[in-house]
Amino acid sequence: MATNRSGGKGIRDPSAVGNDRSFLFTLCLLNMHGGEWLPEVFYEDAFLRAFPRGLNDVAPTPYSTPEKTVRSCYTGRALVNFSAFSGLG
């Protein structure tokens, strides 16, 4: 599992990807674009444009870049888990 620079454990660390603002941002995106199917990369790109400093919180690993880790965490937490939890997915 990836660790962030503060020593937290990647996707389980709420300070990494998935803070309150990112979920509100995701809800706004889904409100604006949820009527049409868009690939997850659309939402990942929008997230990285809105929260570029999130990349600074994730250390590179031998098998992943910070960007790949953030994209994966965002998709898993915001698009898959949160959407399923809230009945959207």
* pLDDT mean across residues, the chain: 80
Domain annotation covers residue 4 = no
Domain of 42 in residue numbering reads as 15-85
Q: Is residue 8 part of a domain?
A: no
| Residue 36 within any structural domain of the chain | yes
Mean pLDDT of 38-49: 94
Residue 7 has pLDDT above 90, yes or no: no
In a domain, 29, yes or no: yes
Q: What is the DSSP letter of 7?
A: S
Residue 53's nearest CA partner among 4, 3, 12, 2 is: 4
pTM of the model: 0.74
Six-digit token pair at 61? Answer: 């690993």
Residue pair 48/41 in contact by the 8 Å Cβ criterion: no
Specify the number of domains making up the chain: 1
